[in-house]
Structure 1
């Protein structure tokens, strides 16, 4: 009898959750590279749409990688769609290639910008939505800035860097392995000339592997503050006070780059958008704890910005 009762309550809970859902979910293939999920509110005929772009690495539409499971982008999409804002989130093209075992080692940063632009263009052509906003997390912030120009109605940066990637890497090496600072600077000087090199310390091979150098070479030409300054649309810079990867000063640099930008610091939010009450150990562990809810104040800040 007990097992039947457990099954009954499980089924009942599922039905209740389904009834509480305020959106319709639809999988969409934008093109041969991009697949994603559109969540559309049930109660609005022509809602605003938020296109969500994930961070660096093989990040899927939910915000996850092999060793990073937070579901933060999925939670973000569902929360917004339950508040009458349509959302579209998608797998980065590298995710699809990994699944199909056909990884293209010639991918460069601009390919991700092309993908984001294709997504925006797709939804502009449908004429289904009132306004289109772009939300970029981490690396997706810079991608979103570049794709939004002359296309989107607004832009939101989540934990986005205010520095070019060569500056970020150079500073990180100086902090964690200062003995390799000169080599790092030397290699970046070579990459700036458009050339690759095999002359790098083994300790830096995870950064400067010959297969990734052209990607970095392409990526480092973009300075986020310079790009944001050219956007003639309202922008919201959201940053967590417990972000271990991107400093508050970088968020402030982004805000200062544009007179159309607002800055909001979310207290105790970390880089993967959850609340951290403790120290660095809890912060690091949270990168693989999908049960954590999004940080308090994050969703409200985005909703307020979009509905203004």
Structure 2
């Protein structure tokens, strides 16, 4: 009889312990990886765990986790599309664990508290009153179902018909300020240029903020038609010089601009590339991925595997131009599974069927297929207007040693080309220590003042 009582007591105690852990896991948990805050909202409804994750300095949107597994005081959360895994243990009201994304990982402690946004210091962000005219504008792209694109035009005071620059953002959905990590690079750049007597048009990408349309299925060629629509709009105005319209493109924007110029040579007076690709996407992404992995501490056989895996996937994409996206997706699953079977155990464990499926879908989309195969030299060689091409020496996303020579070769017949590699700057043109993405949000500087002055003085010396 005593044995039965003790056994029953043990079961009750175990159930109470599990209920307690369930209650303690519920709620909002905040932590940080490499200085970047992350928030997890964890819930338990009828015994089923769910969670969603937010990176508040990058986006206000929560992303649902694919799965949440709780075993006593242990919790594991997976987000397949980004190859994210968090595994931790509840100890003294904190979850002590490891955050893994792709091949990189690091310790992350989650505390049960609401995320409190601490407005970072951004000393370069301009504040009113402004010594120039600001106008909200809308223009239409007839090549994209007449979608309306919304933006801001800034016009210098006391300058009649100034030169005007159109700002073209980097990859991914960006607003008119190209806002990321609480920085607003295009706002800072537009403010500087307008104070220097140069008008600026910046706009929300299609499908972002106040602009119509969608990013889904769109490639760099599609985004080029948005820039053409911006040019047509400026040419319709009487308060800017239609013969002095230029393009300033950051990252992918530096790839898009030459596409536009090649088909509109008489309508574009100058081109400034800020970390624009000078070689095809294959040669941009592979070195970028390797450098990113090294920043995460991935070395040896694990690094070799990741490089070989990406290389195999990229080559398959490039060689499959005639395949539908669905067929290519299936082919990429086969390629990945074959490579993963030969991977080191530490890498093999990360590439589950769910991760392989999600990555294959992501890499078979239209944008990636176009980017990997497109060689910017084709259109760069057609650019005859003045060109300023700048890269930071610490840029790991568009590595200057690989991309600037591409500009130099493709523009060899252009008589007005300035190519600069500026020491100590990262992909966002901030003064940095390593150039890693982990520094972007931690740095107070938005854009190096030397770079701003170089751009404005270069334009003003010609126009």
TM-score where L is the length of structure 1: 0.82
Q: Distance in 1 between matches of 2:273 and 2:443?
A: 22
> Is 1:193 aligned with 2:322?
yes
Question: What is residue 246 of structure 1 aligned with on the other side?
Answer: 398
Alignment match of 1:214 (pick from 366, 371, 376): 366
Q: Which structure has the greater CA radius of gyration?
A: 2
Deviation at 1:186, TM superposition (A): 4.2
Question: What is residue 258 of structure 1 aligned with on the other side?
Answer: 411
Alignment match of 2:251 (pick from 114, 124, 138): 138
Q: Distance in 2 between matches of 1:219 and 1:162?
A: 12
Deviation at 1:49, TM superposition (A): 0.3
Question: What is residue 459 of structure 2 aligned with on the other side?
Answer: 306
**Aligned with 1:231: secondary structure?**
coil
Question: What is residue 313 of structure 2 aligned with on the other side?
Answer: 184
Q: Which runs of 5+ in 1 are unaligned?
A: 1-16
RMSD: 2.7
Q: Distance in 1 between matches of 2:448 and 2:369?
A: 34
Partner deviation per Cα, 1:252-298 (whole Å, 9 max, x = no partner): 3212321332102222221012111x235xx4344225842411311
> Is 1:60 aligned with 2:171?
no
Question: What is residue 92 of structure 2 aligned with on the other side?
Answer: none
Question: What is residue 197 of structure 2 aligned with on the other side?
Answer: 84
Question: Residues 118 and 296 (structure 1 numbering): CA distance in 2 closer, same or farther, change over 3 Å?
Answer: same
- Which moves more between the two structures, 242-251 or 152-161? 242-251
Q: Distance in 2 between matches of 1:173 and 1:290?
A: 22
Greater per-residue strand proportion: 2
CA contact (8 A) 2:318 2:369 kept: no
Map 1:163-178; keep pairs closer than 5 Å: 163-172=279-288, 176=293, 177-178=306-307
Alignment match of 2:445 (pick from 288, 292, 295): 292
Partner deviation per Cα, 1:140-162 (whole Å, 9 max, x = no partner): 00111111231210100001111
CA contact (8 A) 1:50 1:132 kept: yes
Greater RCO (CA < 8 Å, at least 6 residues apart): 1
Q: Which runs of 5+ in 2 are unaligned?
A: 1-126, 141-146, 294-305, 337-352
Deviation at 1:172, TM superposition (A): 4.5
**Aligned with 1:226: secondary structure?**
helix
CA contact (8 A) 2:428 2:446 kept: no
Number of positions where the alignment pairs a residue of Structure 1 with one of Structure 2 = 285
Deviation at 1:127, TM superposition (A): 4.2
Deviation at 1:306, TM superposition (A): 0.9
CA contact (8 A) 1:47 1:84 kept: yes
Q: Distance in 2 between matches of 1:128 and 1:306?
A: 18
- Which moves more between the two structures, 292-301 or 226-235? 292-301
Q: Distance in 2 between matches of 1:186 and 1:248?
A: 23
Alignment match of 1:272 (pick from 424, 428, 448): 428
Question: What is residue 159 of structure 1 aligned with on the other side?
Answer: 275
**Aligned with 1:119: secondary structure?**
helix
Alignment match of 1:27 (pick from 122, 126, 136): 136
**Aligned with 2:247: secondary structure?**
strand
